[in-house]
Amino acid sequence: MPRIRVNLGGRSYPVVIGSDMSGRLPLELERVANGGRVFVIYDAQIYALYARHFGRLFKSFKNRAEFVVPSGEKSKSITQLQGIYDFLLAEKITRSDLVVACGGGVISDLVGYAAATTLRGIRWAVISTTLLGMVDAAIGGKTGINHRQGKNLLGAFWQPCLVWCDADYLLTLPKRQIISGSGELLKYAGLIGGSMISLFSRFIEKGDLYDFSLIQRMMIPSVRYKANLVAMDETDMGRRMLLNFGHTFGHAIEHGSGMRYYHGEALAIGIKAACRLGNIAGISGTGAIDSYYSAVDTLLADLPRFRVNLPKALQALSVDKKRSQMRQKFILLQGLGKPIIVQNLGLNLIRRSLERTLCDLGLVGEPND
Ligand SMILES: NC(=O)c1ccc[n+]([C@@H]2O[C@H](COP(=O)([O-])OP(=O)(O)OC[C@H]3O[C@@H](n4cnc5c(N)ncnc54)[C@H](O)[C@@H]3O)[C@@H](O)[C@H]2O)c1
């Protein structure tokens, strides 16, 4: 049962990875609850599938209170946040208590933000139930909700005190969601290089998306990589930005598809566009990196095909660019496991990489150039 520590001094916490480990969860939660009351907030689908399982696990927390949030990205909203505030305050939560988020990235983002802002900050833990959550969203304390002007525009950095990643929960996760989580694994494969690429290629080519032993072997270096960057640069002003590899394009694709592509799916396409940009900007060559390009293509072959509204996607790119200086920076691969932050690339180059990638995948019409 590997425990990877996110080193943040007095706010350090473990990310626990494994399978068949639910028997240990009550003790872990007791440790972090430290005598306080426990407030569990579930994703509705998780509640429907696992209410009895968690009822048994949590039976020693006699005073616990529970709340269920509808599943899906739409729940990262002010309305759902308000619902959680109403619940926590009606239950008279105090700052000695513990909030537990139980679900995927939507729930950890939303509940983490509720924990960050209720009574000026309450400790929280995550029981992550999606692959994307386990390798990325649950770790690192980026919490928040969406605004009609864009994704994740309201939020806070608020670190959890425990992240629990039991691969057994993935058994019920639909195949398309596993593929979406694989988008994040693909990102780490490019950033880390080495054996991570061969593990990833084996995973995707083998076609058994529920091979938990292989998934865990990829989760460990991925989580370690993220934990190190978070420890080094908690608020994403420097090295942590490397984790944005593929994300600027990915967000534009998510937006251009009218949110029909899931986060990790759009990210996988975004990674393809970033590889193309690296090539045409003369930063990434060919050779050893070809094994990565072919892993990217194998994953893309498994994605559903949705039309992407190109003007909308391009507009999202330029809004990103205007909104934050940091977004003007692209993460590109110089080689396997050799990401660099590149600034001041021509807008034309960036647009062309996105357009050509979408066109090759048949998601938009032929470009005019
Ligand atoms: N905070 C961060 O650092 C960070 C990083 C990456 C992504 N994110 C955010 O994460 C969100 C995406 O997270 P996600 O992909 O986990 O999506 P999600 O939380 O919406 O979960 C996907 C779907 O799977 C269902 N589900 C969850 N666990 C299940 C299980 N074990 N069995 C069956 N069904 C299950 C959910 O009900 C939902 O319908 C996005 O909002 C994205 O912005 C945040």
For residue 106, report the distance from its CA to the centre of ligand 1, in Å. 5
**What pLDDT sits at residue 112?**
98
Ligand 1: distance of its center to the CA of 367 in Å? 33
Residues 255 and 129 occupy one common structural domain: no
Q: In this predicted structure, what is the pLDDT of residue 326? A: 47
Q: Is 69 left (phi over 0), alpha (psi -120 to 50) or beta?
A: beta
The answer to whether residues 8 and 155 belong to one domain is yes
In a domain, 309, yes or no: yes
From the CB of 355, is ligand 1 less than 6 Å away?
no
* 164 and 181 part of one domain: no
CA distances from 328 to 178, 310, 354 (A): 30, 19, 15
Query: What is the pLDDT at residue 31?
Result: 97
Residue whose CA is at the smallest distance from ligand 1 atom 13: 105
Domains identified in the chain, total number: 2
Instruction: Kindly state the average pLDDT of the residues 279-300.
Output: 89
Q: What is the number of the ligand 1 atom nearest to the C-alpha of 75?
A: 20
> Has residue 366 been placed in a domain?
no
pLDDT at 320: 61
Alpha carbon nearest to ligand 1 atom 34, residue: 173
CB 146 within 8 A of CB 79: no
Last residue of a domain, one of 120, 150, 172: 172
Say if residue 156 is in the same domain as residue 260: no
Nearest CA to ligand 1 atom 33: 173
Same domain, 135 and 184: no
- Compute the average pLDDT of residues 34-40: 97
pLDDT at 181: 98
Residue where one domain finishes, among candidates 172, 206, 224: 172
In a domain, 367, yes or no: no
Confirm whether 290 is domain-assigned.
yes
135 CB near ligand 1 (under 6 Å): no
* Co-location of 258 and 308 in the same domain: yes
Q: Do 16 and 57 share a domain, yes or no?
A: yes
- Give the residue-averaged pLDDT of 123-132: 98
Distance between CA atoms of 28 and 123, rounded to whole angstroms?
14
- Does pLDDT of 247 surpass 50? yes
CATH of the domain at 307: 1.20.1090.10
- Record the tokens describing residue 208, joined without a space: 């058994």
pTM for the model: 0.96
Domain residues for 81? 3-172
Reported as a single tens digit per residue, the pLDDT across 185-240 is: 999 999 999 999 999 999 998 889 999 999 999 999 999 999 999 999 999 999 99
pLDDT of residue 135: 98
Q: Which of 128, 101, 96 is nearest to 112 (CA)?
A: 101
Distance between CA atoms of residues 230 and 252, nearest Å: 25
Average pLDDT, the chain: 94
Residue 322, SS3 per DSSP: helix
Q: Is the CB of 169 under 6 A from ligand 1?
A: yes
On whether both 66 and 103 belong to a single domain, the answer is: yes
Is a pLDDT exceeding 90 seen at residue 366? Answer: no
Task: Report the pLDDT value the prediction gives residue 344, as an integer from 0 to 100.
Answer: 83
pLDDT-based confidence at residue 266 (cuts at 50, 70, 90): very high
For the record, the structure tokens of 102 come out as 């139980």
pLDDT at 327 over 60: no
- Structural domain includes residue 20: yes
